[in-house]
C-alpha cells in the first residue's frame, strides 16, 4: 500500500455487532479464523445514546474520544473515569461487558482492536504545536487526525481534519506536519505480531 490520506467520508460504514450503532471501518486485517473475523481493526464510531458495547471475546481494545462531550464506561460493573477529548486512550478487554453513559450529545470515538495472542496494538496520543517532521516507527500502520493540519507527502501538501487517516506508512521514517491552529492532536496506531501472552496495560504507549 502506498502512503495516502483516507478521508473521513471514505471509511467503510457498517452496523455495530449488536445492531445499536454505526461504525466506520478505516482498515483491518481479515482473519480466516477468530472471534471477530479479523486479526486487527481500526475504526471510528459515533455514539449518540447511552447503551452497551458489543462483546468481542478474545479481542483487546483501545478507545479514544475525538469529538463531542465524551462518555463514561462501566466495565464489568466498575465505573471508569470519564473519557473526553482531553483524556488519554483507554484500553480494555473485548470480553468485558461494557456500558457507555453519554455525557452530553453525540461522541465520535476512535477504536482499535486486535486478536489477543496474535497481535498487540499501541495507540498513542500526540499534540503537535508547531511545524515539524513527525517520526514514524516501523510498526506504525495509521495516523488519525483530530484537528486541522497541513501534511506534506512526497512534495504534495494536503489539508487534513477530523477523522482523516494517514495510511501506508511502511518504510517511512516520518512526514511533515504543520498545525493550522495553536495545536493539532493526532493519534498514532502501531500494531505488531504478538510474541506471547499480553496484558491490557501494554496497549497504550
**Is residue 111 located within the same domain as residue 130?**
no
Closest CA to 40 of 94, 119, 111: 119
Residue 31 domain flag? yes
- 84, 116, 148: which is the final residue of a domain? 116
Which of residues 70, 90, 116 is at a domain's end?
116
pTM of the model: 0.90
What is the reported pLDDT for 154?
Answer: 83
- CA-to-CA distance for 166 and 141, rounded, in angstroms? 8
On whether both 89 and 152 belong to a single domain, the answer is no
Identify the pLDDT of residue 205. 36
Q: Is residue 203 part of a domain?
A: no
Can you give the residue range of the structural domain that contains 88?
Answer: 11-116
pLDDT confidence of residue 35: 56
Both 40 and 106 in one domain: the answer is yes
Q: How many structural domains does the chain have? A: 2
Which pLDDT value is given to residue 24? 95
pLDDT by 10s per residue, the chain, length 205: 689 999 999 999 988 776 667 899 999 998 766 556 899 999 999 888 888 888 899 999 999 999 999 999 999 999 999 999 999 999 999 999 999 999 988 899 999 999 999 999 999 999 999 999 999 998 999 999 999 999 998 888 999 999 999 999 998 889 999 999 888 999 999 999 987 655 444 444 3
- The domain that holds 19 is classified in CATH as 2.60.120.10
pLDDT of residue 129: 94
Same domain? For 136 and 182 the reply is: yes
Amino acid at each position: 500500500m502506498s502512503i495516502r490520506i483516507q478521508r473521513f467520508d471514505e471509511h467503510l460504514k457498517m452496523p455495530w455487532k449488536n445492531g445499536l450503532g454505526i461504525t466506520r471501518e478505516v482498515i483491518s486485517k481479515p482473519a480466516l479464523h477468530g472471534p471477530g473475523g479479523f486479526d486487527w481493526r481500526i475504526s471510528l464510531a459515533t455514539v449518540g445514546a447511552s447503551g452497551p458495547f458489543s462483546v468481542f471475546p478474545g479481542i483487546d481494545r483501545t478507545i479514544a474520544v475525538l469529538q463531542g462531550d465524551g462518555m463514561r464506561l462501566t466495565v464489568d460493573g466498575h465505573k471508569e473515569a470519564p473519557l473526553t477529548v482531553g483524556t488519554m486512550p483507554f484500553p480494555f478487554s473485548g470480553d468485558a461487558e461494557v456500558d457507555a453513559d453519554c455525557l452530553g450529545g453525540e461522541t465520535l470515538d476512535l477504536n482499535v482492536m486486535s486478536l489477543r495472542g496474535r497481535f498487540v496494538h499501541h495507540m498513542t496520543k500526540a499534540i503537535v504545536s508547531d511545524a515539524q517532521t513527525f517520526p514514524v516507527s516501523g510498526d506504525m500502520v495509521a495516523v488519525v487526525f483530530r484537528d486541522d493540519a497541513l501534511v506534506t507527502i512526497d512534495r504534495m501538501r494536503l489539508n487534513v481534519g477530523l477523522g482523516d487517516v494517514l495510511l501506508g506508512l511502511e518504510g517511512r521514517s516520518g512526514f511533515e506536519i504543520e498545525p493550522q491552529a495553536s495545536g493539532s492532536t493526532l493519534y498514532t496506531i502501531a500494531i505488531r505480531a504478538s510474541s506471547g501472552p499480553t496484558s491490557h496495560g501494554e496497549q497504550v504507549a
